[in-house]
Amino acid sequence: MKFQLLSLISHSPHPLTGELPSAADRFEEVLAVGEAAERLGYDAYAVGERHAGAFLSSSPSVVLGALAARTTRIKLLTGVTVVAILDPVRVAEDYATLDQISRGRIELVVGKGAEAGHFDLFGLDEERQWDLQKEKYELLRRLWSEESVDWEGEFRPPLRQVTTVPRPYAGVPRIWHGSATSLNSPELAAKHGDPLFTANAIQPREAYARLIARYRERFAAYGHDPSRAHVAAGSGGLLIADTAEQAVTRYKDGYEARVRQTFKPHLEGRAGYNTPFRTIEDAMADGPQLIGSPQQIIDKILGYHEVYRHDLQSITVDGFGLERAEQIETLQRFSEEIAPIVRKEAPTTLWDA
């Protein structure tokens, strides 16, 4: 298995102290932790994209560009690129530029986004989100794989003999499809032979397993080689302690305060927006969150792997108020005590030369 670190660059007061770092300090923390992830042997670093709520990730290409300048090896992903609200020409240009700067380390994860509100912000109809997603993704795909593109669609003016520049560094970067609640993304990924990135962050395991099973079924139905149906899975946050009891003692107040802080009452009842795992004990027992002793976390990841057969595990360390040093300590423990065992037990061909 490969391992990725993801930041949505949350920017809300500390759940217990109420302290709020400046935006500049928060960005510096993200970049420093990204550098540490490369140093500790992680395979990829991803930055989310949010245009609503307490986040600073409205321009992930800029953040990834800064990280590209401070790293040399680690792959750089998005999590997700909200292609449904963006101009595919601009996306093609921005990320091909970043692909050149990083010498081929860029991969996109495209999705319709996990924040209600950004469609209104960009003057788009949320009811048409999947139509927007499909059309804009398929145009992006053509812009990267073809030159002199002629195109007509519903949501932007036609293109005539368009070749976006720069071209990607070494062929079309891999594009994943982010999947959280709907069968639309698994279907689009399967149709084009692309990999699937399941959120695995809020809902019970069965909800994500259904999406992945549908993806694999449709991937084969479209005639693609099933061995190329790569899957990645997120997590609802990583918190490591020596024992389960120590995890509860150390993290309970912070975890549960953050859950209360991020609860969205106007979205109550809509899948994918509010976690049902409100206590740390519930999260440890049944949630996708990776909380507990190293062995508990190993067992949970491998348990998910039995169901998902995923190739890439994404983790997050900046969601519950950990200071920068604690985030890096957590990443180091994971890289030394957890990752080697999971890599051995769940091998993958993803990103092999």
Q: Residue 114's pLDDT is what?
A: 73
Question: From CA 181, how far away is CA 200, in angstroms rounded?
Answer: 10
Could you tell me the two tokens for 67?
A: 């990280």
174-219 pLDDT tens trace? 999 999 999 999 999 999 999 999 999 999 999 999 999 999 999 9
Q: What is the CATH number of the domain that holds 227?
A: 3.20.20.30
- Split at pLDDT 50, 70, 90, the class of 76 is very high
263-301 pLDDT tens trace? 877 777 777 778 889 999 999 999 999 999 999 999 999
Range of the structural domain that residue 276 is part of: 2-345
Report the interhelical angle of 88-101 vs 129-145 (nearest 10°): 50
- Looking at residue 241, the DSSP 8-state letter turns out to be -
Query: Per the domain annotation, does 353 fall within a domain?
Result: no
The dihedrals phi and psi of 240, each to the nearest 5 degrees, come to -115, 140
Q: Hey, is 282 helix, strand or coil?
A: helix
Give percent of the chain with pLDDT exceeding 70: 99
Q: Residue 141's pLDDT is what?
A: 98
Of 353 and 42, the structure prediction assigns the larger pLDDT to: 42
Nearest in space to 182 (alpha carbons), one of 129, 121, 141, 115: 129
Across the range 133-154, mean pLDDT stands at 98
Preceding amide of 83 cis, omega within 30: no
Could you tell me the two tokens for 57?
A: 């990730």
12-63 pLDDT tens trace? 999 999 999 999 999 999 999 999 999 999 999 999 999 988 999 999 999 9
Question: How open is the CA angle 61-317-62, to the nearest 5 degrees?
Answer: 10
Q: What number of other Cβ atoms are within 10 A of residue 99's Cβ? A: 25
Q: Residue 222's pLDDT is what?
A: 98
Indicate if the pLDDT at residue 166 is higher than 90: yes
Query: Per the domain annotation, does 87 fall within a domain?
Result: yes
- Split at pLDDT 50, 70, 90, the class of 228 is very high
Q: Residue 271's pLDDT is what?
A: 73
Q: Residue 80's pLDDT is what?
A: 95
Query: Per the domain annotation, does 331 fall within a domain?
Result: yes
Query: Per the domain annotation, does 53 fall within a domain?
Result: yes
Question: From CA 181, how far away is CA 157, in angstroms rounded?
Answer: 31
Could you tell me the two tokens for 16?
A: 């217990």
The dihedrals phi and psi of 53, each to the nearest 5 degrees, come to 85, -175
Query: Per the domain annotation, does 351 fall within a domain?
Result: no
Query: Per the domain annotation, does 350 fall within a domain?
Result: no
- Give the CA dihedral 237, 325, 70, 67, nearest 10 degrees: 30
Query: Per the domain annotation, does 22 fall within a domain?
Result: yes
Report the interhelical angle of 324-333 vs 23-39 (nearest 10°): 20
Question: How many structural domains are present in the chain?
Answer: 1
Give percent of the chain with pLDDT exceeding 90: 91
Q: Residue 184's pLDDT is what?
A: 96
Nearest in space to 287 (alpha carbons), one of 324, 327, 312, 319: 319
Across the range 242-268, mean pLDDT stands at 90
**Mean confidence (pLDDT) of the chain:** 95
Query: Per the domain annotation, does 233 fall within a domain?
Result: yes
Question: From CA 172, how far away is CA 146, in angstroms rounded?
Answer: 10
Indicate if the pLDDT at residue 116 is higher than 70: no
Question: How open is the CA angle 49-51-57, to the nearest 5 degrees?
Answer: 40
